[in-house]
Amino acid sequence: MERDELERLVGGRLRLTFDEILNHPRLPEARRAYLDSFVHLYEGDPFLVRLLLEAGRFLVFHCVAVLEAAQDPSRRETWFTVAALKRQLAMFGYASGRQVDHLVARLREVGFIEQRRVPGDGRVRLLASTHKLRTHHTEWLATHYIPLAMLFPDHDYSPVLSRNRAFHVLHCSTCLPFNPVAARLMMTLPDTLLFFTHAAGPLIQNAVLKAAMDAADPNAAIPYIEAADRFGVSRTHVRNLMGDAESAGLVRITGHGGHSISILPRFWASYDRGLAIGMYLHDAANLVAMRQWTKGHTDGDTTALLDRTMTAGHSP
């Protein structure tokens, strides 16, 4: 699972192995905690859900946060531009150049991204996130650390879980070198990609799995159409997505008129594998971020990074 490359990026041995995470006896509890947090993050914000439906790509928010935090105003090759965003999204295979242009235009229109010219070079335009996007990504990142904190309470994830703004910038700035590994590992998850390539797919996926866990019966029939009503997605879209999931062996459509599903063992197994990969990557990134965080508290580097990021693209 890319262990050698991750250890190179971390600069030493990893704290966790992938198998240790995947086979942890409390993984179902961590899955429930993650699902509860993820669904709560989105169901209370219909505007954000609609935006994601139009954008069709959850990954955009993460790439924006990472590229912005990693840029250095003195090094042109690190600048956060539309071209840089296109390169990152192409790595994950999610968007064409034209789609990225549409995404950027839409995110600017609704106040999630800003764009400005570089002083002295009117041909280059830098992108910058706004408070809206930064606030969302801070919550998103904390949500992805909740299962790690549950399984490994002796590890310190407190800065990210406390939504510390300076640590959020620092964490994002360390993530850019991890993106190629993350992209390769994601390609090993065809069932996850099935949902990620559909509008609102991750929302629907997590909503139906949460409903199944709440039912406390692995054989219970889940009225999946509720996901459409909860997130404002068309019922036809959800029905088509569930049809694809059934063809992939993830669910069985049941009930009168096919309005319910049963979650099949492959769905639980593939979801847990994807969740474990995410925790595996996040823990590795946290090792680097925490090392710099501790050092920064001693010599002031963390504050300097936050100031640099703000100066490069936006004000706090």
User: How far is it, in rounded angstroms, from Cα 141 to Cα 133?
Assistant: 12
What are the CA-CA distances from residue 20 to residues 30, 36, 129, 269 (Å)? 14, 23, 36, 15
What letter does residue 80 receive in the DSSP assignment? -
Query: pLDDT value at position 32?
Result: 96
Tell me how far apart the 2 most distant CA atoms of the chain are, in Å: 66
Position of tokens 């994807």? Answer: 274
Handedness of CA 73, 83, 7, 153 (dihedral sign): positive
> In terms of DSSP H, where are the helices of 11-123?
18-22, 27-43, 46-55, 59-70, 82-92, 97-109
Query: pLDDT value at position 243?
Result: 95
Asked if 278 and 37 count as a contact pair (C-beta separation under 8 A), the reply is no
pLDDT digits (tens, 9 = 90+) for 93-111: 876 888 888 888 988 998 9
Query: pLDDT value at position 49?
Result: 76
Query: pLDDT value at position 206?
Result: 92
What letter does residue 121 receive in the DSSP assignment? E
The stretches in the chain having pLDDT less than 70 are: 44, 53-57, 95, 298-316
Measure CA of the first residue to CA of the last residue in the chain; give whole Å.
38
Give every CB contact of residue 136 below 8 A, 6+ residues apart in sequence. Answer: 48, 61
Query: pLDDT value at position 300?
Result: 57
Query: pLDDT value at position 53?
Result: 67
Residues facing residue 115 across a β-bridge = 127
Query: pLDDT value at position 316?
Result: 37
Query: pLDDT value at position 54?
Result: 62
Query: pLDDT value at position 60?
Result: 86
Pairs from 249-257 (Cβ < 8 Å, separation ≥ 24): 250/191, 250/194, 251/208, 251/224, 254/221, 255/221, 255/223
Query: pLDDT value at position 315?
Result: 39
Position of tokens 């990504």? Answer: 137
Angle at 228 between CA 52 and CA 28, to 5 degrees: 85
Other residues' Cβ atoms within 10 Å of the Cβ of residue 254? 12
Query: pLDDT value at position 251?
Result: 96
User: How far is it, in rounded angstroms, from Cα 89 to Cα 105?
Assistant: 16
Query: pLDDT value at position 203?
Result: 87
Query: pLDDT value at position 59?
Result: 82
